[in-house]
Amino acid sequence: MFGHEMAFEGLFTWIFWLILLVLVIVMVRTIRSGCCASCGSKRSIDETPLDILTKRYVRGEIDEEEFNRKRDDLEK
């Protein structure tokens, strides 16, 4: 009498935990990929390494000597 009900309860418990695990994995991947709307630092896929280097130079993160050295390395 209670055997089938207990089996379904166990099945639904496993399904619940599986769905919860999938949701946690999706959240972690979303946060790691940087596509979170609140972070605002989503990198463009079309952005080349030279574009990134130029932006770093313009922001003052690297000096002219380092910029030229890294640019030469990229062009090799």
Q: Tell me, yes or no, whether 34 and 49 share the same domain.
A: no
Structural domain boundaries, residue 35: 1-39
Q: Tell me, yes or no, whether 2 and 32 share the same domain.
A: yes
Q: Tell me, yes or no, whether 4 and 30 share the same domain.
A: yes
**Res. 20 pLDDT band, cuts 50 70 90:** very high
pTM metric for this prediction: 0.42
Distance CA 67, CA 51 (A): 11
Residue pLDDT, tens place only, 21-55: 999 999 999 888 765 555 555 556 788 999 999 99
Residue 76: predicted pLDDT: 80
DSSP state of 44: P
Q: Tell me, yes or no, whether 2 and 35 share the same domain.
A: yes
Residue 4: predicted pLDDT: 65
Q: Tell me, yes or no, whether 29 and 50 share the same domain.
A: no
The answer to whether 41 and 34 are in contact (CB under 8 A) is yes
Chain-wide mean pLDDT for the chain?
83
Helix axes 49-59, 64-75, angle to 10 degrees: 180
